[in-house]
Structure 1
Amino acid sequence: MKGKWKVTAVSVASVVLIAVNLYLIEKKESKVERTVFVENWTKVKKDTITATIQTKAVVKPAEVHDIYFDAKNNDFRKFLVKEGDEVAAGSSLFEYTTTELDALKANLTAEKTAVEGEVSGIDQYVAKLRAYQGNLERDPSKAVIDDSIEQKLNIDITTSSSDLIKSNIEQEMYKQELEKNRLNEKVKMLSAQLSSIETQANSIETTTEAGGIVKNINKNLNNPIISIASANMGIEGDFSESEMKKAEVGMTIKATAPDLKQELKGKISRIHSYPAEEPTLKNDNRFPFQAMIESEGGEAEPLMVGSKVDLSVITNQKAGVPSIPVGAVHQTKKPHVYKLTKKGYVDKHYATLGLKAEGKQELIKGPAVGDFIVMEPKMVSKNHSHFITPVHFEKVKTDTLKKFTTREKVRYLLLGILEK
């Protein structure tokens, strides 16, 4: 019987002791100190945080040049290229005849005659200038100038000095020589066009201004009659509505694929403001975009049209900013983190947060670079509590242990065991 009373007494005492301790611990403003076991912590580091849009895309020609044909005023003869042919700028694409060829030849002939007349007029004008210049050098008092020349020189012969007149004549002859050279070049161009028309013998060839690969030929002569895909490759994809709000033309892109030896870099060149498909209530809107691939020097890696790539669009990037893992922030109305102090306390620090991406969180205000932060903030039940951490024996150095006294070694060992 006495044994049962002893057991009962011990049990009651234990319950009372536990209850009193729980009350003291949970009571507001309690002076009972709590020790937090911190198993995981991190350090505030200077880091680069990059926010991206991750999407799929496809390699396509950067541009497609369409060639048109006027079937109303011309008669088509034949194509000079086939689909899949690689063409350079200036290559002939197709032939056609036109009833306007004779009229074109007559217009070019008339224009050439007019230009040659202008050249002849310049020669006559310069000859008069030289004659007056020679008379002026021999005897200025007897030199007579044509009224038309005096007007073109824009100078008063009666009041101007001989040196000024000579200077104006030199400038005028130089200007006329430049104009004559320009007109002679035009005569050459017109002659070449006339020669080309005569050589074609009633047929005209259409050439391409841009090189590439002949993508499509419309044998029904519907426009565009020929489409040429540029040899330079680009990337095409589409954004969701939420991604569309973040994306902008000019943003940097990075593309990777199993077949690519190195990632491709470039920039967004165009974003379509209208969805790829007609908007409906049932379907999610997708907005097409194009990106240009930038060459980094050296021989470019050949890209196959239609290759699928994983695309990263960099929407924001900050370098060298204080950063901690996202999980280390206690997300409340006033976000805060818990800092481990050198005196052995866990202290709450309110933080102003910046860019968040890649599992990293920028700290605009809060603990400084190098401070230690608790990785599991919800485990801290009370601010300014003592903390202990597990011993990582692989990191313990013998020289460091020798600095502690035997009493300190026993004390810290027991503290760690009891608190855990």
Structure 2
Amino acid sequence: MKKSQLVILGTAITFFIACNFYLILKEDSKISRSVFIEHWSSVEKQDLKKTLKTEGLIVPSEEHFIYFDDQNGAFKQFLVKEGEQITPGTPLFEYETFQYEKEKETMENRRDLLNDQIVSLEDHIDELTSYITGLEIDASQEKKENKDNTYFASIVEMDKEIYNKELEKALLEKEYDAIDQQLEELQEEENRLTVISSYTGTITKIQDSLANPIISIHSETPSVQGTLTEEEVSMVESGMDASIYRKHDGEKFTGTITQVLHHPMNTPKLNEDSNYLFTIGLEGENESLLSGNHVDAYVTLEELKDVITVSSHSLLKKNHAYVLNSSGKIEKRKLELGLEVNKLYEIQSGLTENEKIVLHPGEVHIRNNSPFITPLQIGEVNKKALKNMTKSELAKYTLLGFLSR
């Protein structure tokens, strides 16, 4: 081949390659260019939990107060001490009982006397009844005509005496029952003079001055109390789960919001923020918690199980993502987002599990429906795979590597 022909051929080839490079690299070119995607990830399912962190203090779940009533009598003595463990039925304190004891003794003596009188009357009535029976037996053995008026007069007189004795006995029995009833009432009154506990817990305060409440009782069951801000109180509701971590050792406990007060703890002031009290009831083993322990509380505001999620690093303009589809193209998709926790979003629609999406899409120049390539995974390349490729395939992928950006 002549030298001039070689020059012409070389110039033509150079021009052809330059034109192709221009068309490929031109910004508004209609020729598709492969996009090199260095960072991408798979769409996964996981749990999302949105929590509110606050602080709290371990306090008794219940506090009970016992009062002294001077209308029940004079105070006699306490029957418990501070720090003592008590149960329902434990005597707490006593009123003076001397007036009741004196009245009770008088009534019991009168009741015993009435009982003796009733027994004596019953014996006398039995004797009269037996005597009449004896007369009737003797009279039946005699002839009727031999009965005189003295016999009949004796029978009538003894019947009258029996009637009177039975009447007297009935009156004594009535009085006896009345005194017995009064003694029962007096016993009930005396029982009230010893005040007993209805609760299980610990005596935390005794007022020797008799200022009410004279006894304070704390329950053995601990709970968590804390405060919420004006913004937080609208987010927290009774029944929400909570995780509790003791500050000095990080031990974890679980519980549930049992109360949220919607009136401020203190009198509201125009230039001060209001705070609202909340209580968490603890569950499971919590004997190691002591009143006064400081804790961190994480209240679960919302929780989702096994949902499709993506990181904010994969989002473009807040609700779009670039998907690396099975056709080898980059597909721009609009997403419907749900719950957000620490820059991790629930995907309600727009993505399915295991789809591949571009990370940091704002850092890469991408056109919708552009083909893409990803970094070569050296660990997955072997000699056998290279030998099985044709020369045209090697040339094709090598050229794509040079032309992609």
1:212 pairs with 2:201: yes
Q: Encode CA deviations 1:261-315: one digit per residue, 9 max, x unaligned.
A: 85211110000101223323433322110011112xxx65421212122211111
Q: Distance in 2 between matches of 1:305 and 1:287?
A: 21
> Are the structure 2 counterparts of residues 330 and 193 from structure 1 closer, same or farther at C-alpha, using a change threshold of 3 Å?
farther
Q: Encode CA deviations 1:96-118: one digit per residue, 9 max, x unaligned.
A: 2379968x98xxx9xxxxxxxxx
Q: Encode CA deviations 1:122-149: one digit per residue, 9 max, x unaligned.
A: xxxxxxxxxxxxxxxxxxxxxxxxxxxx
1:287 pairs with 2:276: yes
Number of the residue aligned with 1:8: none
Identity %, equivalent residues: 31
Question: Could you state the TM-score of these two structures normalised by the residue count of structure 1?
Answer: 0.63
Aligned equivalent of 1:312, options 298, 320, 324: 298
1:349 pairs with 2:349: no
Q: What is the identity, as a one-letter code, of the residue corresponding to 1:248? A: E
Aligned equivalent of 1:369, options 353, 377, 381: 353
Instruction: Report how far residue 362 of structure 1 moved.
Output: 1.0
SS at match of 2:213: coil
SS at match of 1:385: coil
Number of the residue aligned with 2:376: 391
Q: What is the identity, as a one-letter code, of the residue corresponding to 1:382? A: R
* Contact 2:34 2:404 survives alignment (8 Å): yes
Q: Distance in 1 between matches of 2:386 and 2:193?
A: 95
Q: Distance in 2 between matches of 1:310 and 1:414?
A: 60
> Are the structure 2 counterparts of residues 223 and 388 from structure 1 closer, same or farther at C-alpha, using a change threshold of 3 Å?
farther
Question: Could you state the TM-score of these two structures normalised by the residue count of structure 2?
Answer: 0.65
Q: Where does the alignment leave 5 or more consecutive residues of structure 1 unmatched? A: 1-16, 110-188
Number of the residue aligned with 1:64: 63
Provide the alpha-carbon RMSD of the alignment. Answer: 3.8
Instruction: Report how far residue 52 of structure 1 moved.
Output: 1.0
* Contact 2:72 2:95 survives alignment (8 Å): no
Aligned equivalent of 1:382, options 347, 359, 367: 367
Number of the residue aligned with 2:138: none
Instruction: Report how far residue 230 of structure 1 moved.
Output: 0.6
Q: What is the identity, as a one-letter code, of the residue corresponding to 2:268? A: P
Q: Distance in 2 between matches of 1:211 and 1:35?
A: 76
> Are the structure 2 counterparts of residues 331 and 244 from structure 1 closer, same or farther at C-alpha, using a change threshold of 3 Å?
farther
Q: What is the identity, as a one-letter code, of the residue corresponding to 1:274? A: H
Q: What is the identity, as a one-letter code, of the residue corresponding to 2:310? A: I
Q: Encode CA deviations 1:46-69: one digit per residue, 9 max, x unaligned.
A: 221111111122221111112222
Q: Distance in 2 between matches of 1:364 and 1:190?
A: 78
> Are the structure 2 counterparts of residues 264 and 192 from structure 1 closer, same or farther at C-alpha, using a change threshold of 3 Å?
farther
Q: Encode CA deviations 1:304-351: one digit per residue, 9 max, x unaligned.
A: 21212221111111112211223322344xx22111112222211111
Q: Distance in 1 between matches of 2:371 and 2:221?
A: 64
SS at match of 2:376: coil
Aligned equivalent of 1:272, options 249, 261, 273: 261
Q: Distance in 2 between matches of 1:377 and 1:401?
A: 32
* Contact 1:325 1:361 survives alignment (8 Å): yes
Q: Distance in 2 between matches of 1:67 and 1:275?
A: 28
Q: Distance in 2 between matches of 1:282 and 1:400?
A: 75
> Are the structure 2 counterparts of residues 384 and 86 from structure 1 closer, same or farther at C-alpha, using a change threshold of 3 Å?
same
SS at match of 2:223: strand
Q: Where does the alignment leave 5 or more consecutive residues of structure 2 unmatched? A: 1-18, 109-180
SS at match of 2:199: coil
Bigger Cα Rg = 2
1:302 pairs with 2:288: yes
Aligned equivalent of 1:231, options 210, 213, 220: 220
Q: Distance in 2 between matches of 1:192 and 1:402?
A: 110
SS at match of 1:378: helix
> Are the structure 2 counterparts of residues 196 and 361 from structure 1 closer, same or farther at C-alpha, using a change threshold of 3 Å?
same
SS at match of 1:244: helix
1:329 pairs with 2:329: no
1:257 pairs with 2:246: yes
Instruction: Report how far residue 384 of structure 1 moved.
Output: 2.1
Q: Encode CA deviations 1:226-283: one digit per residue, 9 max, x unaligned.
A: 2211101111112222221211101111112366685211110000101223323433
Q: Distance in 2 between matches of 1:400 and 1:243?
A: 61
Q: Distance in 1 between matches of 2:244 and 2:367?
A: 47
Q: Distance in 1 between matches of 2:291 and 2:83?
A: 13
* Contact 1:74 1:99 survives alignment (8 Å): no
Number of the residue aligned with 1:80: 79
Number of the residue aligned with 1:45: 44
* Contact 2:51 2:301 survives alignment (8 Å): yes
Q: Distance in 2 between matches of 1:395 and 1:60?
A: 61
> Are the structure 2 counterparts of residues 80 and 342 from structure 1 closer, same or farther at C-alpha, using a change threshold of 3 Å?
same
Q: What is the identity, as a one-letter code, of the residue corresponding to 2:291? A: V
